[in-house]
Amino acid sequence: MNLVLFEPDELAGPLPRTDARAKHIVDVLRRRPGETFDTGLVNGPLGKATVVNLSAGELTLAFAWNPPLPPLPTTTLLIGLPRPQTARDVLRDATTLGATQIHFVGTERSDPNYAASALWSSGEWRRHCLAGAAQAFDTRIPEVTWSGTLPAALAALTPGGRRLAPDNYEATAALQTCRPTDDTSLVLALGPERGWGAADRGQLRAAGFTLVHLGTRVLRLETAVVAALAVTRAG
């Protein structure tokens, strides 16, 4: 945990010692009253927290915040709805790499039953985004949806920007040759674990996407997400 994150409504009261963050502060960081550690407000500023009081039941903290963070480059992921375990990895790692929106969508080859997973219904998905932000020493987590379809997601995209869709079979260019050279808005569309279907490819092309490749090797979806974000937002 490179950064201890707090929700805005958690700042007024003490932190229970049973909370995983309290255990990290006391047992891993070994902070005691009067000592500070790095903290952040979810979707807000970075700052420092000071341990004011430490008891058997709770941890009292005081916060000092830095100026607001600058906006991230707009980076939207459209991802064919995968197995929940794959989605967990994508949520964490895409947040770490600075995705600003992640839309898991129904496609020709995705299993619609995955949308009923407890990952989504319980709100667990947010925990994985928070873990990704803490890893990156950042506070910003992406907007996340999981109940839409590919056609609806394409129709809702903001005009402009670069639109790229990794595809193992019908790519016409290497992804690295198409990546934005500045902070231009970017949409990356990646198929589910079984890949894009013919209808999906037609919809993507009609929406202005270029089908691109990441080389000759076939990657797992969660690996392809990391590779595509690293290549397109490198530097």
The 10s digit of each residue's pLDDT in 9-37 is 999 999 999 999 999 999 999 999 999 99
Do residue 79 and residue 56 come from a single domain?
no
Task: Say if 181 falls within a structural domain.
Answer: yes
Q: What is the pLDDT of residues 49-67, one digit of tens each?
A: 999 999 999 999 999 999 9
Do residue 49 and residue 109 come from a single domain?
no
The whole-number pLDDT of residue 1 equals 82
Say if residue 113's pLDDT is above 70: yes
The whole-number pLDDT of residue 142 equals 98
Nearest residue to 150 (alpha-carbon basis) of 215, 198, 91: 198
**Placement of tokens 């937002």 in the chain:** 233
Mean pLDDT of 106-132: 96
**Domains contained in the chain, number:** 2
Task: Say if 149 falls within a structural domain.
Answer: yes
CATH number at residue 18: 2.40.240.20
The whole-number pLDDT of residue 235 equals 53
Print the domain residue range for 54.
Answer: 4-65
Do residue 107 and residue 219 come from a single domain?
yes
pLDDT band for 181, please (50, 70, 90 cuts): confident
CATH number at residue 93: 3.40.1280.10
In angstroms, rounded to a whole number, what is the distance separating the alpha carbons of residues 103 and 23?
33
pLDDT band for 182, please (50, 70, 90 cuts): confident
Do residue 97 and residue 152 come from a single domain?
yes
> Which of 13-17, 177-181, 209-213 is least confident?
177-181
Task: Say if 118 falls within a structural domain.
Answer: yes
